[in-house]
Amino acid sequence: MNQTRRFSWRQVERVARQRFGIERFRPGQPELLRAVFEGRDVLGILPTGAGKSLSYQLPALFLPRPVVVVSPLISLMQDQHDKLAEYDIDAAKVNSALSESEEREAAVEIRNGEPEIVFVTPERLENADYLRVLAEGGVSLFVVDEAHCLSQWGHDFRPAYLGLRDAIRALGRPPVLALTATATPRVVRDILQELDVRGAEVVNTGIQRPNLVFEVVPTVNDDAKRARLLRILDETPGVGIVYVATVREAEALTDWLDAAGVVVARYHGRLPKKDREEIHRRFMTDAYRVIVATNAFGLGIDKPDVRFVVHYHVPDSIEAYYQEAGRAGRDGEPARAVLLYRVEDSAIQRYFIGGKYPRPEESAAVWQALTTLGDLQSRAAVPPGVLAAAVGVAERKLRVIVAQLSRAGVVERRGGGVRLVQAFASPDELQAFLSAYEARRRDDRERLELIMRYAQATDCRVRFIARYFAEPLERDCGRCDNCRARAAGRLERPVAPPRRPAAPAPPAPFRPGEPVAHRTFGRGEVTGVDVEGVTVVFAGVGEKRVDAGFLTRGAPDAAADTARAA
């Protein structure tokens, strides 16, 4: 339904100026707003600090029914809620932090369609009663904030993300707006597939943050890391974040910095909720110089003047690194993103990857238990607790497996239980289901290898990151550590070894018209080859220039295809 008939674009601009003080829209905002007002599905990929929230806050003042915003963290939800109060926008939030009376009051307001914006966690949308409350109030727009979490978390520790497409249907299929700061083509496909909005418009303004300076410091041991960290603190004014991979390291490094005289606090998921909230509040008011944190300190951090982000350990991917590094310099002023690199640190991430997804034997055990406890003849719903006890699988992994079985069409969730509706059509179909997560695990290992390659690279850091996100740059950034070292004559650009004049020229790695495959972009066809790389048109992605080393001839293996289709 076209939703612009009741007002003009000039009215939209006037309200943006009057209510938000915006004289001029930032890149990407007009395209997102027009798509929303015209009732089209849209995915917005805009850098941190580029004003993504305006794309639903402004329409909420015009649309006839509430805008539902799915937000991953209660702290982030609270920050957004408080900011809307400054703009005099009526917003409600429903999450586990509310008391029973507060939740009942919010439900009455939502049922009556009173709030202009309703914030909700993905877990709350699994509740059929709450979905009915939202449906009664009506929904003009369904927003998924931090949409990369669909791909990053949905198959890991937040399986509720896998149910968002069902929630959208239950709410009458309103237009969908998904927002994120970073997304590779693979993550874009995941987002559009998980939300069932494959035809959505994609507005991508790029990932560039010209004020960020990227650096990598090789270190041989923890003593060297700690010494370099103190040097960074001495060199860099202002407050910052130090990311570590484990809770144990967060505790140990915090104690060490405290003993060194740094005003520091730790932050991780095992702290009591009250302590996390207090640490967050005090950091926002500059009470601490440094927060030492696991990745639990992330999406809710909207502090514009963070001057440095240091990664004490190698993160699991370039996506994670860029998201976390992007918390520095949101005010547009210069900021540092430093990775303290030690090759042995990758073992920590390999350990996490090993236990991240359900294994084939766990998926097989759940399927076998369902066929035993809830056979097709009785069609009885099996309570999740009974199913988990029968197979010995953790509840989180059980929920992921059940979500995948539901996608395969062989089970459905009914009345709080899991009901078998049909068998797999063939042994091959069952095998494809069982092996799907092996492809994801393999992809995660490849992403870890790429962040290790980033740490070891001698070319421009920003160009390396841009290539990863399929945004090749024409020139070096001139500000990263490698660019500065090269300008000072301390680093030479890598060159190919000289060839003997009589030797025949090596054949081009690929030929125009040749079918190729890329782990991130999928299948494609070569359209051109030159010294800068290979140009390929990828199905559903478009034309990209990539390094030949990222390509293989022919189609991806069957497991990777299965993972994309799942």
What residue segments make up the domains of the chain, in order of their start? 9-204, 212-351, 360-439, 498-565
Helix boundaries (H) for 240-335: 247-259, 273-284, 318-325
| 226-270 confidence digits (pLDDT tens) | 999 999 999 999 999 999 999 999 999 999 999 999 999 999 988
553: phi then psi, degrees, rounded to nearest 5: -75, 145
pLDDT at 34: 95
Tokens 């099996």 found at: 382
**Extended strands (E) in 281-434:** 290-293, 306-311, 335-341, 381-382, 411-414, 417-420
pLDDT at 400: 83
Rounded to whole angstroms, the Cα distance separating 434 from 177 reads 32
The domain defined by 212-351 folds into: Rossmann fold (3.40.50)
Domains 212-351 and 498-565 share a fold: no
* DSSP tag of 500: P
pLDDT at 2: 41
Q: Provide the token pair at 21.
A: 């003080």
Rounded to whole angstroms, the Cα distance separating 329 from 81 reads 23
Tell me which CATH homologous superfamily contains domain 9-204.
Answer: P-loop containing nucleotide triphosphate hydrolases (3.40.50.300)
Beta bridge partners of 338: 215, 310
What is the rounded (10 degree) CA torsion for 507, 508, 510, 511?
-90
Give every residue of the chain whose pLDDT is below 50, as ranges: 1-5, 496-506, 556-566
pLDDT at 521: 75
The domain defined by 360-439 folds into: Arc Repressor Mutant, subunit A (1.10.10)
**Edge-to-edge strands of the sheet including 335-341?**
212-218, 335-341, 306-311, 239-243, 290-293, 264-267
| AA identity, residue 6 | R
Rounded to whole angstroms, the Cα distance separating 186 from 437 reads 15
Q: By C-alpha distance, which of 531, 536, 564 is closest to 552?
A: 536
What is the rounded (10 degree) CA torsion for 69, 72, 74, 79?
-60
pLDDT at 290: 97
The domain defined by 498-565 folds into: SH3 type barrels. (2.30.30)
| Buried-state track 103-139, b at ≥16 Cβ within 10 A, e below 16 | beebbebbeebebbbbbbbbebbbeeebbebbeebbb
How would you class 289 by CB atoms within 10 Å of its CB: exposed for 0-12, middle for 13-18, buried for 19 or more?
A: middle
